[in-house]
Structure 1
Amino acid sequence: MVLGWLCLALGVAFGSAIVPVISVEVFVIGLMTSESGIPWLAMGAVVAIGQIAGKLLYYLAARGSIRLPAVLHDRLHRQRPPSARRERWHLRTKRLRMWLESLRERCHRHPHWMASTYGISSIVGLPPFMATTVLAGLVRMSLSMFVAAGLLGRFVRFSVLAACPAVFAGLVHGA
């Protein structure tokens, strides 16, 4: 039965990594509260693997290593006639694009800065893990660093969560 719960946790973790509205944290707290026989280290490892496997798709897409499905790719890259609205949007986002390019250049010069930011985000969730995942792909963080830092951080996060669900359940319910 434990193996079944761990497989389900792997699936939920993978799904929550792809569809960010699913909360794997709530799932882990609920499961560990109701099922006492599941080893918390195994739960932490399984959820970390599922999360990084799902986030790997975002990382690879941001890096340009995988191609988006034709429907999304065509919609994002199709030629559109010029419009005043699109031109205003382009001007408004110019500063953001310049900042992102500057950030990308800094990350290339200081690769440990991005690795530490991504690692901290994988444990704490701030800055948002989804954002640092995409940024890691955009700045072309090495795949081995992405997987290692992400797995370690997510393992710590979810092992702690699985080890003491009563504490976190109390925080969630405002006790």
Structure 2
Amino acid sequence: MSYLLLCLTSFAICGAGALLPFVNTEIYLIGASALMPRAMWVPLVIAGSLGAMAGKVLLYLAGRGVVKLPKGRVQRGITAMQAKMEARPKTGKLLYAVSAVVGLPPFYVTTIAAGAVEMNFVFFLLAGLAGRIVRFAAVVALPHMASGWAS
């Protein structure tokens, strides 16, 4: 597979996964990395991380009210997260950064809440991108570490 096709595919799938919680980017990354030579891991991680953050920017804007979100259970979770982030802004930034790496609390929810509390956009982008790079690098390495343990 060419680098360009790998990058475009990773960007698109991870971008879709950022917006649609039922698209599992980790499964894609595990499968892709299992089929790719080690030299293609870095483009896979970088393109996936950039795609994920492109999608998260739309969710951030939704939190700011630029894009409308559906009401319901997700809205209640976002409202609760927003209250926590507003009460303690520094803790809210830490919560967002941790969520970008480990996914708990859900990165989807913390992203929208970050927009709702008007978190600094540069911090939002840099912390989110760094977190996604760390997470996706670990996910990409996982099949190769598991194959080493199985031997």
Please indicate, yes or no, whether the TM-score normalized by the shorter chain is above 0.5.
yes
Structure with the greater relative contact order (CA < 8 A, sep ≥ 6): 1 or 2? 1
**CA deviation after TM superposition for structure 1 residue 44, in Å:** 1.5
How many residues get paired? Answer: 143
For the pair shown, the structure with the greater C-alpha radius of gyration is 1
Q: In structure 2, which of residues 110, 116, 136 is the aligned counterpart of residue 132 of structure 1?
A: 110
Q: Does structure 1 residue 106 correspond to structure 2 residue 106? A: no
**CA deviation after TM superposition for structure 1 residue 112, in Å:** 2.1
Equivalence map 1:23-172=2 (5 Å): 23-36=24-37, 38-64=39-65, 66-68=66-68, 102-107=83-88, 111-167=89-145
Runs of 4+ in 1 over 4 A off after TM superposition: 99-102
For residues 67 and 26 of structure 1, do their structure 2 counterparts lie closer, same or farther at Cα, with a shift above 3 Å needed?
closer
For residues 38 and 27 of structure 1, do their structure 2 counterparts lie closer, same or farther at Cα, with a shift above 3 Å needed?
farther
Query: Structure 1, residues 103-126: CA drift from partner, whole Å, max 9, x if none?
Result: 35314xxx3211111111110111
**CA deviation after TM superposition for structure 1 residue 41, in Å:** 2.2
* Preserved CA contact (<8 Å) 2:82 2:114: no
**CA deviation after TM superposition for structure 1 residue 159, in Å:** 1.4
Name the counterpart of 2:19. 18
Secondary structure of 2:55's aligned partner: helix
Q: Which runs of 5+ in 2 are unaligned?
A: none
Q: Hey, what's the Cα distance between the residues in 1 that align with 2:147 and 2:21?
A: 20
Q: Hey, what's the Cα distance between the residues in 2 that align with 1:123 and 1:165?
A: 18
Q: Hey, what's the Cα distance between the residues in 2 that align with 1:139 and 1:32?
A: 36
For residues 105 and 23 of structure 1, do their structure 2 counterparts lie closer, same or farther at Cα, with a shift above 3 Å needed?
closer
Aligned amino acid, residue 54 of structure 1: G
* Preserved CA contact (<8 Å) 1:124 1:157: yes
Name the counterpart of 1:87. none
Q: Which runs of 5+ in 1 are unaligned?
A: 77-92, 171-175
The Cα RMSD (Å) is 2.7
Aligned amino acid, residue 58 of structure 1: L
Q: Hey, what's the Cα distance between the residues in 1 that align with 2:146 and 2:95?
A: 24
* Preserved CA contact (<8 Å) 1:161 1:168: no
Q: Hey, what's the Cα distance between the residues in 1 that align with 2:90 and 2:145?
A: 33
